[in-house]
Structure 1
Amino acid sequence: MRQTFHTSGPVLMGDQTNSQEFHLSLEQITQAPADCTLRYLDFHGTQAKLGVEYSGTAPFTRDGIKLSPAPEQAAPLQASWCVTLLSPSASLAQLQQLMRFFDGQQWTLVAADTLAQRPECTVIRFQIEGDLNFDRARLSCLRVADQLGADLVIQAAATQRVPALAGFDMDSTLIDAEVIDELAKITGIGDQVTAITQATMAGDMDFCESFKRRMALLKGFSEKRLAEIAQELPLKEGAYELLTALRALGCKTALLSGGFTYFAEFLRRERLPLDFTYANELKFAEGALTGEVVEPIIDGDRKRKLLTEIAEKLNISLERVVAMGDGANDIPMLNLGELGIAIHPKPKVRMQAPQAINLFGLDAALYLFGLNDRQIEKLG
């Protein structure tokens, strides 16, 4: 999973670092005057178990004990909503700010448990109750996430389960590239095509029209060169791990792309455990692209329609469907089923998607399915 920031906490060169667990009330946690690195939080009832690392003076006046081992599985759900903090540098100050945010929203913290407690990735799931409007709550969480330097995801507690079907965009989601832009760079028209792609993914240009314009610019591109490019496409961080885990959990997966079947099929055949692939057909003549398109073009609405059709074919209710993507043409399917997770999204998409992960790889979605690191490790 992607690490963006350094571990927080007042750890100084030459100072001894202490790792301890404190048993405290939520009020005592919020009133601690000193910051330190946060390892975990476990809260069920009246007191919380707080694992921290610090140097110098302890953040609390009471004595601490040895850190507890990570739990074998995530805690049972007790509330209507879950708010998940995914931090690359978790600190007590982050936790305090988040608890003040909950109070300000008049959300009651019912329980909390830690799904990941690694130095580069701390994931804490807060179970809350409150009379909330999801869209307003989602936008509020995004604002706080920016202040914290972390991801903060809200979802209905009922969606904290493994999906039965997951749909994925390809370019900049499963792979760390926009294929059509890579082809354009090779032909010397990279800047021109990239500008069209960026406008499209940001939602400033109709996808079908932009696709036709970009394809026309690629007329004459060699089919042989396509095969070489397919071998070089980098996978997005966490893509293989997520898809492998979903297969082990019995979830069906589908690639739904406004890109090309040539590359989608290569990924399914050679790189990723995918069950279904849908993308745009390339048209060739004498071993080169003609620049023409094969209708119908897979745009945002068609992605949503195809994912719906797969669910119907497999007799899967939309409540068990998850979608993941990054661009404006993914928004329709992101708003289709159980969860719609924007991965490293464009700003407009982040504001419109039900959920968003900006600082970690695709496999961070497993935490939103209610799994902790110990459970995820067993899937490998």
Structure 2
Amino acid sequence: MPICTLIAADILESGNFSEAKDRLAEAGCIPKAFDWLAQGKAVDISFEGDLSDARMALEGLEDRFDIALQDGANRRKMLLVSDMDSTMITVECIDELADYAGIKPEIAAITERAMAGELDFADALKARVALLAGLDESVIALCLRERVQPMPGAEILVRTMTGWGAHAVLVSGGFTSFTGPVADMLGFHEVHANLLEIKDGRLTGALAADIVDASTKRVVLHAAAQARGVALGSALAVGDGANDLPMIAAAVSDGGLGVGYHPRPQLAQAANFSVRHNDLTALLFAQGVKPHEWAD
């Protein structure tokens, strides 16, 4: 039976809850059962009807809820594949490196256009990395220490999912200098990212290996699923920008959960669940997991 999960932006008031139920019923999606995941915060509504009809019925409520609509079967996913920058951590690492070099506005503007899908990612990455030529490699450790913080709910999400046996993959268009430490901090099993070329203690302005881009992220999702013997319907893919779109679309097309986390508009259209109001624990609510089951 399909399930609608409502996760309130603030407090799930009875009036808002009733409006959602009424909209579903009017669209022929008859509510059958209700399960509070967290009283006043998140609730599951099981219903009879079509997911697309339910989605249309609930349009306009996104200013009050994060809304996940999915089949009730197979909700707890066995594969997590996630972007890093602005998804699992609060910053874009290349922008922060640029800040130490005194050129953050120039690089951040390119980053934003790339994430919005306005620029080719590989070309934009090469251009930004070239601007970092000559930066002392010690700045990477300084940036990790001073700027890189986990996104709220990130560690709870990863460690809760790995606690029930899910495999967690961090795949980033950023750099291995950051993904390794972040993976260790949050509990990821596997990492894919770009390698900065460093010579004589300084960034050369080039990359030392093939670029991890949007197509790579999709390939990583498929490869991780195949290696673990996991169908994509048991996968959760999450990201925030256009570079994540093929990965998100692949998860959605095969019945998995493709999540846009505070997504750019292009990604939101491809995702079957967008988180705009809550932290990453919303991805646990979407899987029907109550707070007492979350990892400490």
TM-score, shorter chain, exceeding 0.5 = yes
Q: CA RMSD in A?
A: 1.6
2:241 corresponds to 1:319: no
Pick from 119, 136, 149 the counterpart of residue 205 of structure 1: 119
State the distance in 1 between where 2:250 and 2:73 align: 16
State the distance in 1 between where 2:126 and 2:55 align: 35
2:78 corresponds to 1:164: yes
Matches within 5 A, 1:1-380: 79=1, 81-87=2-8, 88-117=10-39, 122-133=41-52, 137-138=54-55, 141-146=58-63, 149-160=64-75, 162-232=76-146, 233-269=148-184, 271-337=185-251, 338-376=256-294, 379-380=295-296
State the distance in 1 between where 2:156 and 2:291 align: 13
Quick check: which one's helix share is greater?
2
State the distance in 2 between where 1:140 and 1:302 align: 36
State the distance in 1 between where 2:56 and 2:172 align: 27
What is the identity percentage for the equivalent residue pairs of Structure 1 and Structure 2? Answer: 32
How far 1:231 sits from its partner (Å)? Answer: 1.9
State the distance in 2 between where 1:254 and 1:132 align: 29
254-263 or 151-160: which moved more? 151-160
Q: How many residues align?
A: 290
Q: Residue 51 of structure 2 contacts residue 69 of structure 2 at CA under 8 Å; is this kept in 1?
A: no
Q: Residue 326 of structure 1 contacts residue 349 of structure 1 at CA under 8 Å; is this kept in 2?
A: yes
Structure of greater relative contact order (alpha carbons < 8 Å, 6+ residues apart): 2
Q: Equivalent residue of 2:173, what SS?
A: strand
State the distance in 1 between where 2:18 and 2:94 align: 45
State the distance in 1 between where 2:55 and 2:260 align: 13
330-339 or 177-186: which moved more? 330-339
Partner AA of 1:83 in structure 2: C
State the distance in 2 between where 1:173 and 1:220 align: 28
Q: Residue 300 of structure 1 contacts residue 329 of structure 1 at CA under 8 Å; is this kept in 2?
A: yes
State the distance in 2 between where 1:201 and 1:234 align: 20
**TM-score using structure 2 length:** 0.93
Change (3 A) 1:179 1:125: same
**TM-score using structure 1 length:** 0.73
Q: Residue 159 of structure 1 contacts residue 339 of structure 1 at CA under 8 Å; is this kept in 2?
A: no
Partner AA of 1:356 in structure 2: S
Q: Equivalent residue of 1:174, what SS?
A: coil
Partner AA of 1:191 in structure 2: P
Q: Residue 283 of structure 1 contacts residue 293 of structure 1 at CA under 8 Å; is this kept in 2?
A: yes
In the alignment, structure 2 segments of 5+ residues that lack a partner are: none
